Structure 1
Amino acid sequence: MKPRPEWESESEPESPAERTSRFVPLRRDDARPVSAPRKPEASAPASGPAPAAQQPQAPAPSLSGAERTRQQPMPPRPPLDLLAELTNTPPPPETPVRTAVRRVKIWTPLVLLLLIVYAIVQEVRPLPTPGLELSADPTYTFDGGDPTLAWPGQGQSAVTVDGVGSLGTEGAQKPAPIASVAKVMTAYVVLKGHPLTGKEEGEKITVDQQAEDESKRAEESTAPLKKDQRLTEKQLLQLLMIPSGNNAARLFARWDAPNEAAFVTKMNDAAKALGMDSTTYTDPSGLKKTTVSTASDQLKLAKAVMQNEVFRQIVDTPQIDIEGIGGTIYNNNTLLLQPGVSGIKTGSSTPAGGNLLWSANTIVDGKKLWIYGAVMGQQAGTGRVYDSLQQSLDKSLKLIQDAQKAVTSATVVRKGDVVGYVDDGFGGRTPVVATKNLKAMGWPGLKVELAVTGNGKKISNTATAGTAVGLVTVGSGAGKVSAPVALQQDLKEPTFGQKLTRIG
């Protein structure tokens, strides 16, 4: 066998043992003790290779760290320790400064990301709807002292101006008999169940025998009714209110309800709904002294029933001729001939004395205002009911005339006055001004309320000066008056900084 050339032997690949012998362990626990070098054996005879038993054995290759890891998992190591092992560099010592720097490097990008997200959310977040707020005084008091009214001096009385307020009361407001004034509630209940408007006459009502028999009672005020007469609802209302027919009241009760008791229940339910807490009805005509009320309660009923135009026309009728009823019928309320007086109902009896629930009007700045009053419990001292009724009429007329004189007007808000502001929801306040003068009705010493409200349209987050954004109002109810309000200057959209710092 020819010996190998020297160049060939040098290029021979390394054996696994040779590669393994060059591995430099990175950890102390990977090192293996090196066995002592074996003594060289006697050279083989030149005539041929040494016997197989005498040839040197290559050492077994040691396991690398990766191979050992696959066989036996190593516990997790801190990153710096692992880096030190890979670079043969020990980790730097831990210090507070180094810890703080490392935390800053880790958390700063996250915090910056959160801030960016927060800013975007605040920018695209829907803006709050601007609101109107009052900045002017919430009340206005008319100049002068309280008006002087000629109160009757006995019984109980009350006066109010519809939509404006009460002019006052006199006497204890305690339940007392009201006599035929009770018929106002009878008419109210009938019209609630069977409404009439304009020139409507309503349903036909047949007079029964009881109504005819009751028309012959001399001790009561009655209407001349005959059995089987056919009267319209409006005609029977006229007989109820103008001559104050007790039999007409009872006929209405039997027509509208199964019986008179059921109708009386309706009357009391209506009184409760109107807030007449001191009122009790026990019959539809008021003849019974157990039908009681107060002057203040009757004003609540007056304001409600006078909303019906047919009723207003009937109670403002001094005299009337009704088809089928012989002769002219005269109203007991003789005040209807006085300027501005327009109703409502008289009532008199020995227990009740003379009573009058009245309505009147006055014109202020071209506008009609309704005044309602009640005078109850007037006793003439003569023993005659008629004299007590006349006294209630006389006392009421003086009260009416004083009330008509007391009502006046005043300019509460002037054009250009700053009355409020628009709150943009970010603390910004844009003033709003009245666009015209605003007059209110009242009387000396009266205190009325002011408010600014919306005009039914949503206020935009941006608007130019002069844009109408709402109303300024004075008073309440039917007497409330209002004027538009507009921006005094431009309403600007909130800045990015305001959006960014918005909390709510």
Structure 2
Amino acid sequence: MYQSAPQTPTQPRPRRRRPIWPAVLAPVLVAIALIVAQPLWHQPSRPTADPTLPTTTRIPGTAPQLPWPSTGQAAVAVDGVGDLGNHGTQTPVPIGSVAKVMTAYVVLTDHPLRVGEPGPSLTVSAEQAAAYSAEQARGESLVQVAAGAKFTQREALQAVLLPSANNMARILAAWDAGSVAAFVAKMNAMATGLGMTNTRYTDPAGLAPDTVSTAVDQVILTRKAMALPAFAEIVAQPRATLPVAGTVTNYNHLLGQDGVVGVKTGSTDQAGGCFTFASVAKVGSAQFLVVGAILGQPGRDTPAQLRSVFAATTPLVRAAAAALGVHTVVPAGREVATVRGPLDTGTTLRAGQNLDVIGWPGLDVRLGTEIPTMPRQFASGAEHGRAIATVGSQPAVGTALRADDRLEPPGVWDRLTRR
């Protein structure tokens, strides 16, 4: 029998080992690629602007020296701009018929009128009419009235503010509040609310010597009163025609001179000559209301006291108007903000033109900037944002800002090498 030869077992084929470096290197390469490419797909941060202007500045120069009266006390302010100053000891003193400014202000606050509007009517009672003879005997300033006579609110205010009628001040007070005493309480409450800390009213006419105030307090009130169009309209009238009394004239003999548009005279033996005034001052095309008060001017009688106070007022009005002027608080080219961009890029924003305000030397001015979000790039000289200045309660004024240098996002090479 044939017997085959024994077979040798088959040997397994050896396996080739795969290199491990691609598995290790691939993630590294991906990470490097991500790190290198990251600056290319991420937008650089936007530039930021850091203002360099101070928050306040002062108009340079010597503060105006006003020709204050040699006696008594006085104060002057420019509405919307600021206080020009005051003179004399601001202690409460009798103010005479200047008190009627508060009388009119309270009435117009309780019963507002539009310009030219007559308003509701009030009727003179028999008792009020009968008091006329005794009031006349005391030498009071009056308008003639009659029992049953009807005055519109506007006519009653004209009687109080133009010929300074004491009797109509009391009639109007009783009409408004039900009694003179109740009205006086309103006057004092109003004074307190306005911050007139050195003022006390005891009658609506100002005849009583214990109705007292200061020039500074009366400037506060006069500014508020002149903001009421009906009040400002009435005190600017040289004359008016009233029931019973006929035509009456305004005791303010400065009306229409040097821009004077109001307000109220006052005189008694105790008060001397008193006057609160308002005048319009012009600076270019802008107009400003100058408001002032002068109290305690000398004189033996009412005509002499009024002449004295008018003589003291005229130079004060002129000097106050002359004090107003245009002043540069941020000159053209002044640095206003520093712009910082990515990778040490940047530029400077400067005032494109002079930033001017209206005021006087020594007056404080508030400064600021309005800079919107910075664009990623802009050309040299491009406008962006503005510098602003504010004086008193005037609207802010501004000037555009211009960039010194061109600003643009960093290029690819900078983004790869200067991270």
**Normalized against structure 2, the TM-score is what?**
0.77
**Is the 1:438–1:481 contact (alpha carbons within 8 Å) kept by the matching residues of 2?**
no
CA distance in structure 1 between the aligned counterparts of 2:66 and 2:216, rounded to whole angstroms: 17
CA distance in structure 1 between the aligned counterparts of 2:185 and 2:373, rounded to whole angstroms: 49
Report the CA distance between 1:337 and its aligned residue. 3.8
CA distance in structure 2 between the aligned counterparts of 1:295 and 1:319, rounded to whole angstroms: 27
2:6 alignment partner in structure 1: none
1:193 alignment partner in structure 2: 110
Alignment partner of 1:237 out of 157, 164, 172: 157
CA distance in structure 2 between the aligned counterparts of 1:226 and 1:401, rounded to whole angstroms: 43
**Is the 1:136–1:420 contact (alpha carbons within 8 Å) kept by the matching residues of 2?**
no
CA distance in structure 2 between the aligned counterparts of 1:327 and 1:393, rounded to whole angstroms: 27
What do residues 103-143 of structure 1 show as CA deviations (whole Å, max 9, x unaligned)?
A: xxxxxxxxxxxxxxxxxxxx9xxx99x78745257213243
Report the CA distance between 1:283 and its aligned residue. 1.2
Alignment partner of 1:448 out of 346, 361, 364: 364
Q: Where does the alignment leave 5 or more consecutive residues of structure 1 unmatched?
A: 1-122, 494-504
Count residues with an aligned counterpart: 367
Report the CA distance between 1:421 and its aligned residue. 5.6
Identical amino acids, percent of aligned pairs? 36
1:483 alignment partner in structure 2: 398
1:327 alignment partner in structure 2: 246
**Is the 1:345–1:358 contact (alpha carbons within 8 Å) kept by the matching residues of 2?**
yes
**Normalized against structure 1, the TM-score is what?**
0.65
Change (3 A) 1:273 1:490: farther
Report the CA distance between 1:240 and its aligned residue. 0.9
Change (3 A) 1:421 1:182: farther
CA distance in structure 1 between the aligned counterparts of 2:167 and 2:245, rounded to whole angstroms: 17
Structure 2 SS opposite 1:477: coil
**Is the 2:351–2:402 contact (alpha carbons within 8 Å) kept by the matching residues of 1?**
no
Higher RCO structure, 1 or 2 (CA under 8 Å, sep 6+):
2
**Is the 2:146–2:244 contact (alpha carbons within 8 Å) kept by the matching residues of 1?**
no
**Is the 1:468–1:484 contact (alpha carbons within 8 Å) kept by the matching residues of 2?**
no
CA distance in structure 1 between the aligned counterparts of 2:378 and 2:326, rounded to whole angstroms: 34
Q: Where do 1:121-270 residues align within 5 Å?
A: 133=51, 135-136=53-54, 138-143=56-61, 145-216=62-133, 217-218=135-136, 219-270=139-190
Q: Which has the higher strand share?
A: 2
**Is the 1:283–1:291 contact (alpha carbons within 8 Å) kept by the matching residues of 2?**
yes
2:389 alignment partner in structure 1: 473
CA distance in structure 2 between the aligned counterparts of 1:276 and 1:295, rounded to whole angstroms: 10
What do residues 184-206 of structure 1 show as CA deviations (whole Å, max 9, x unaligned)?
A: 01111111111122332222222
* Structure number, greater radius of gyration: 1
Amino acid at match of 2:149: Q
Q: Where do 1:350-429 residues align within 5 Å?
A: 350-380=269-299, 382=300, 384-420=301-337
What do residues 414-459 of structure 1 show as CA deviations (whole Å, max 9, x unaligned)?
A: 44533346799xx99975444543322223x32321311559xx74
Amino acid at match of 1:275: G
1:103 alignment partner in structure 2: none
Change (3 A) 1:349 1:223: same
Amino acid at match of 2:78: V
Q: Where does the alignment leave 5 or more consecutive residues of structure 2 unmatched?
A: 1-41, 410-419
Structure 1 SS opposite 2:273: strand
